[in-house]
Chains A and B, each alone.
Chain A
């Protein structure tokens, strides 16, 4: 990249800019005065402008500790964080303007840090973890703490089983509170804890009343630790002294947490006896004892519902919801995945069939599960991914579930079997027996034309039959009035004779349909929808037309794809009784 025009432009804008060499690389230097400080900013030249150009602060040690800067001692500079690199879109076609903008932002940030020490201090605390990561040891980047709350408690330490394991949860240290309640069923967490045998070391979790900025460098860690001890409230300090403080060992783990403006901040220290010290020593709680120990900073990754679920887009309030999913085919298996990802705590899968190779490309399960019950495959797959998901299964069909006690035990029933006859029979049972559980029915239509989902909330108007009213005769129709394909067309294809007919649609069609059903389910379970509703998505008619099939008027008139609409139909004899 040609820096000459950039230097020229910045010069015309009043900046004192010069081309220099920095650490054997071409660079530009900008000198300016910020809040009565002589500041020198260095930009190391880049070949292509892909993000906002960064400037380093020279000789950071000559300034007070500044927020949003990270020191590179060996180079004698500190990086300055003015924005997340991807959060701005830059004008790479006019780079001189990008440099001018970047410089303005760097100077503005430094000016605020230097001119407003209170704000600077607050920001240092808010960005505590950024500073902490600067001094943490790489080998402790992967420590999972299973604590839920962060109160004082002792924890067992389970190191990775294989030291060189670099991938998956197997590569993490696990810090498990001694009174940790394990899931009674199989779960991912149980598997990891049990698989590692007995804990090798002890640690503890210590909440802090207050926090100071992270140490500027590793050399300051011991001094910093002693200061931190003063922020432990006396009652906890006493507990610490009388429990953890009494232990003698070769190493200790301590995990701190403190409230900052970014939320609760967690970080840890690993104490290891110095090599020349013999025997075991007590956990150091003063400067005298500290001389036996090396301290290493480590990142703490919380592995609990409260942290992982909201951070990754799940809703923890769905943890106590129980859903019965009937049909684990192409649509049902996608719904299972999607529902689990929303944070639902209990899923019971129902399907009488096993996975067939015929459906491989439109089913979510891999070939490993061919000939296995689909329900079993789904349970294994989902438990591998979702640590706080409880699962159950039933190897039967929809009509075998006509049991009021069973159905009323769930918050929601989702039916994804694509069988209008069975679904209407089941609905009749629910009406007759006053089933209190809401039911979602969902189905795809062939040839990628669309998919539908209905939500029948028993205490509100609108039911499955509303989606089957024949609007011409105001009679109970045999096919859904939501459909985009006219009834009585020979839509199925056949590749191997009788018994092998199938409705052609792709995995994408199944996923789209599952999405509208899952969205409806989560909104209902979260209380965002309280009325019986319906939703459809509408695909391209290309394949339908190519195969000579006919579309319904609803397809032509439908302009509200993905919109959740009332299910009630004025012609429904059940809802209008």
Chain B
């Protein structure tokens, strides 16, 4: 079993898509809540003109974590001219809906309405946008008790961000293979973050921050036959992230702050307000990951390689021995028939 095959198995174990059976209940909950929001907003006079999935499910970089919530990131869009002047008004409507449907800890945060559904390990984030006639979006900012000046419709580019993450136009050959490798790398680093950091630190190393860093420094490794080498791609990408001076700002006593700008409007720092502690821990562990990946590359014994990788990503990474339970399950083609160019 090749090491790439182990990465494939690992990826199969951690990846989460909206079509996954494990996400079925979340999907149904999402659909039902969205329908109620549509009804309520219509009654309020600002009907929903669009809704879309955002976050890691939209960029195909979501991962499963044992005993952790599934995220629902559902954006609600209303027309600019029909939207209430007070952006929090619309968010309050959503808060009521969530509270009435068994969600706990429902609250209006600055960028969205958020809540948990404990019995199903669900965490829901619902941002509200208004869309202008020139096709731009503005995000409803403000908490329940915010001052009027903090309740604003702020320029945002949610779809542009998704498109930016999903864009593969600059990859030349094997574009599809490369964008898929990029997504796997994001999953690997998210799992690494969750595995290597305490909850308090890992929750401050934002997924979108990791995604942007990987996207901007992605070094694909696809051979001329279209076969991926995720280990090399991951090592090269992490190395490039560390070598770029823009993300980690040096402070005295070997301390660091992390800053990553959103690649789309309003181009704010994703890690705005992040502490020296977060930045320093993040950078130190990333450097350690970089060195460890090199050790894995230099190691010739596959079993030892896997042990090292388990140390980085946890038990979902398969062992290197003849462990049949680690065998990748057969994935059949999803088409019934495909036309071929083959003859003899």
A472 near B177 with CB under 8 A, answer: yes
Query: Which residues in chain A, 538-563, are within 8 Å of chain B measured between CB atoms?
Result: 553-554, 556-560
Query: Which residues in chain B, 139-179, are within 8 Å of chain A measured between CB atoms?
Result: 173-177
Q: Which of A330, A481, A488 contacts B339 (CB 8 A)?
A: A488
A557 near B173 with CB under 8 A, answer: yes
- Write the nearest CB–CB distance from B238 to chain A, whole angstroms: 21
Alpha-carbon gap, A485 to B344, bound state (A): 15
Contacts of B173 in A (CB 8 A): 553, 556-557
The stretch of B79-87, B118-126, B252-260, B322-330 in contact with A is: B322-330
Nearest-neighbor residue (CB-CB) of B12 within chain A? A474
B227 near A472 with CB under 8 A, answer: no
B341 near A485 with CB under 8 A, answer: yes
B342 near A416 with CB under 8 A, answer: no
**Does A53 make an interface contact (CB < 8 A)?**
no
Alpha-carbon gap, A471 to B333, bound state (A): 11
The stretch of A31-39, A258-266, A443-451 in contact with B is: A443-451
Alpha-carbon gap, A41 to B340, bound state (A): 71
A472 near B8 with CB under 8 A, answer: no
**Does A420 make an interface contact (CB < 8 A)?**
yes
Nearest-neighbor residue (CB-CB) of B8 within chain A? A474
Q: How large is the interface on A (under 10, 10 to 19, 20 to 34, 35 or more residues)?
A: 35 or more
**Does A191 make an interface contact (CB < 8 A)?**
no
B344 near A331 with CB under 8 A, answer: yes
Nearest-neighbor residue (CB-CB) of A566 within chain B? B225
Query: Which residues in chain A, 502-538, are within 8 Å of chain B measured between CB atoms?
Result: 503, 505, 510, 513
How many residues in B have their beta carbons less than 8 Å from beta carbons of A? 36
Contacts of B225 in A (CB 8 A): 481, 554, 557, 565, 569
**Interface SS of chain B: helix, strand, loop or mixed?**
loop
**Does B2 make an interface contact (CB < 8 A)?**
yes
- Write the nearest CB–CB distance from B296 to chain A, whole angstroms: 15
- Write the nearest CB–CB distance from A447 to chain B, whole angstroms: 8
Query: Which residues in chain A, 171-202, are within 8 Å of chain B measured between CB atoms?
Result: none
Contacts of B176 in A (CB 8 A): 472
Query: Which residues in chain A, 409-462, are within 8 Å of chain B measured between CB atoms?
Result: 416-420, 442-446, 449
A418 near B5 with CB under 8 A, answer: no
B335 near A478 with CB under 8 A, answer: yes
Q: Which of A330, A487, A571 contacts B8 (CB 8 A)?
A: A571
**Does B45 make an interface contact (CB < 8 A)?**
no
Contacts of A329 in B (CB 8 A): 344
A491 near B333 with CB under 8 A, answer: no
Contacts of A449 in B (CB 8 A): 341
Contact of A570 with B331 at beta-carbon distance under 8 Å, contacts A479-B340, A480-B342, A489-B341 already known: no
Query: Which residues in chain B, 218-247, are within 8 Å of chain A measured between CB atoms?
Result: 224-228
Q: Which of B227, B228, B328, B343 contacts A503 (CB 8 A)?
A: B343
Contact of A554 with B224 at beta-carbon distance under 8 Å, contacts A472-B177, A576-B5 already known: yes
Alpha-carbon gap, A572 to B77, bound state (A): 44
**Does A160 make an interface contact (CB < 8 A)?**
no
Contact sample, A vs B, 12 pairs, CB 8 Å cutoff: A420-B340, A420-B342, A444-B344, A445-B343, A474-B331, A476-B331, A478-B335, A480-B340, A487-B341, A503-B341, A559-B224, A570-B3
Could you list which residues of chain A lie within 8 angstroms of chain B, going by C-beta atoms?
327, 329-332, 416-420, 442-446, 449, 470-481, 483-485, 487-491, 503, 505, 510, 513, 553-554, 556-560, 565, 568-573, 576-577
Taking A475-B333, A577-B324 as known contacts, 19 extra A-B pairs with beta carbons closer than 8 A to each other, sorted by chain A number, are: A449-B341, A472-B180, A475-B332, A479-B340, A479-B342, A483-B342, A484-B341, A487-B339, A487-B340, A503-B341, A503-B343, A558-B224, A568-B2, A570-B228, A571-B8, A573-B330, A576-B5, A576-B8, A577-B1
